[in-house]
Amino acid sequence: MHSPAPARARISVIGAGPGGLTCARVLQRHGLAVTVYERDPGPTARDQGGTLDLHADNGQLALRAAGLLDDFFSLARPEGQEMRQLDPSGSLLFHSVPEAGELLQPEIDRGQLRDLLLDSLEPGTVRWGAALDAISGPADGPRRLHFADGTRVETDLVIGADGAFSRVRPAVSPAVPEYTGVSFLEAWFSDVERRHPDIAALVGAGSAAAADGDRGLFAQRNGGDQIRVYLIQRAPVDWIAASGLAADDTAGIRALLLDAYADWSPRMRQLITDNDGPYVDRPILALPVPHTWRHCPTVTLLGDAAHLMPPLGVGVNLALLDASELALALASATTVAEAVRAYEETMLPRSVETARALEGGAEHLLSAEAPDFGRASDARA
């Protein structure tokens, strides 16, 4: 089959996360039709996760291409760029405070970013409750999307923006995420200035991190007077069940954590004992390095579907950059196949280089020698 011109192509984005929505927004700005399919039943179906720092040299470039950079700055929290490195006693080892007007990597809550992108799209762009099961059809197209409700859709280009466990990825790659050996356990703190003033003072306006070589934590201010804390351990992927506990056994898990962090000061252990509600288990996964695939003119990937890496602050930024570059390639190419090839010739080398640099990076989150913890704000819901 001859690859169609993008202006006449049926373009399908799978996944309504920041990457998928950015791709759709840039496509629509250039007059290209696109449909986004999302398995969630609606935009408020689940918590969207913590805060994100968008970098001037990638994430912000993508929002500029989307025509949303000024709107982003109106929502972002520049003060969230503050970083503190603590030791297990709570003593301050390192402190970075952004200068007035600094906008190199301001923070925004993931939910706010998603709403900004959703509101920018033409009505009806996102089809909610559309859980993709499989893709069929010849590699040169057209492709058929098979959804869990029995619906089938024919399309000329499938863009997999559906995250770590992408249902699009198998159409181009057999790779699956692997456990890194490091696990995050997320704890939430709400109304922190009133209910948790000591923790609010410890964390500050941005983030605070500490580690002792075997365990660590990363605490981060979110919007709405909230703080999320990620307790970091080297552990089996099923460590909660292996301890005879259920994921909702907050008291039992807390007792294990207090034992593991027994040598840390009471001030630091507040970040384990005073959380509001249950913990959330988040084992850290990554795709094999390098992860590439043979060019296919009708299927491509972006973001975590293409290059899942440890949460060291690059994930969402690369996803937005991927999304904008793919959309711009489609807007300027003669055919869909030409656009996909041009996009992958830039994206794949970049993602491989970054993944190699971050390979094993989850272990660095436990290092007592590190001067800081990088930007661990990309921890996912």
The annotation status of 276 as a binding-site residue, yes or no, is: no
Question: 109: which 2 tokens?
Answer: 């809550």
Of 48, 43, 38, the closest CA to residue 131 belongs to 38
What beta strand segments (E) does the chain contain? 11-14, 35-38, 51-53, 83-86, 92-96, 107-109, 126-128, 132-136, 143-147, 152-155, 157-160, 178-189, 207-211, 215-222, 226-234, 280-286, 299-301
The annotation status of 195 as a binding-site residue, yes or no, is: no
Query: Per-residue b/e over 135-168, b at no fewer than 16 CB within 10 Å?
Result: bebeeebebebebeeeeebebbbbbbbbbbebbb
The annotation status of 294 as a binding-site residue, yes or no, is: no
Would you mind telling me the total number of residues written for the chain in this entry?
A: 381
Phi-psi region of 344 (alpha: psi -120 to 50; beta: other; left: phi over 0): alpha
Cβ–Cβ < 8 Å for 47, 188: no
The annotation status of 372 as a binding-site residue, yes or no, is: no
Output the known binding site for FAD. Answer: 53, 110, 304
Residues annotated within the binding site are 46, 53, 110, 304
Q: Which residues are annotated as a binding site for NADPH?
A: 46
